[in-house]
Amino acid sequence: MNQYLKAFFHRGLVFGGFGPIVTGIVLAIIAWSGVSVSLSALEILVMVISTYLLAFVHAGASVFNQIEHWHISKSLACHFASLYTVYSLCYLVNAWIPFHLTAFLIFSGVFAVSYLIVWLAVYISIKRISEKLNKKIEQ
Amino acid sequence: MKFTLHIVPDGEEEVIVYAKEKSALCEKIRQTCEEFSLEIVGYGEKEAVKLSAEEIVCFTVETGKVWARTEKEIYAVKQRLYVLEEMLGEGFVKINQSCLARISAIRKFEYSFSCALKVVFKNGYTDYVSRRCIKTVKERVGIV
Question: What does the pLDDT look like over B15-69, one tens digit per residue?
Answer: 899 999 998 889 888 877 776 677 789 999 888 999 988 899 999 999 889 999 9
**Residue A22 near residue A15 (C-beta atoms within 8 A):** no
Chain B residue numbers touching A134 (CB-CB < 8 A): 108-109
**Residue B29 near residue B17 (C-beta atoms within 8 A):** yes
Residues A133 and A88 in one domain: no
Written as tens digits, the pLDDT of chain A (139 aa) is 588 889 899 999 999 999 999 999 999 999 899 888 888 999 999 999 999 999 999 999 988 887 878 888 888 899 999 999 999 999 999 999 998 999 999 999 999 999 999 999 999 999 999 999 999 988 7
Q: Output the DSSP codes for B105-143.
A: GEEEEEE-TT--EEEEETTS-EEEE-HHHHHHHHHHHT-
* Residue-range definition of the domain harbouring residue A103: 98-139
Residues A8 and A46 in one domain: yes
* Residue-range definition of the domain harbouring residue B47: 39-141
Residues A15 and A74 in one domain: yes
Interface predicted TM-score of the whole assembly (ipTM), two decimals: 0.72
Residue B131: pLDDT above 90?
no
Pairing mode of beta strands B126-129, B74-77: unpaired
Number of domains in chain B: 1
| Amino acid A1: pLDDT | 56
Number of domains in chain A: 2
Report phi then psi at A18, rounded to 5: -70, -25
Whether B11 is covered by a domain: the verdict is no
Residues A32 and A48 in one domain: yes
Cα A25 → chain centroid: 17
The CA distance from A133 to the nearest CA of chain B, in Å, is 7
Residues A81 and A23 in one domain: yes
CB spacing of B137 vs A133 below 8 angstroms: yes
Residues A22 and A90 in one domain: yes
Cβ contacts from A onto B, under 8 A: 52
**Residue B31 near residue B89 (C-beta atoms within 8 A):** yes
For residue B40, the one-letter residue type is: I
Residues A71 and A119 in one domain: no
pTM, whole model, 2 decimals? Answer: 0.69
Burial class (CB in 10 A: 0-12, 13-18, 19+), A9: middle
- Any idea how long chain B is? 144
Residues A127 and A104 in one domain: yes
Residues 92-121 on B with a CB inside 8 Å of A are: 103, 106, 108-117
Percentage of the residues of chain A whose pLDDT score is greater than 70: 99
Residues A2 and A70 in one domain: yes
Of residues B113, B117, B126, nearest to A130 (C-beta): B117
Residues A87 and A105 in one domain: no
Which residue would you say has higher pLDDT here, B35 or B115?
B115
Report phi then psi at B86, rounded to 5: -70, -40
Residues A9 and A30 in one domain: yes
CATH number of residue B81's parent domain:
2.40.50.1020
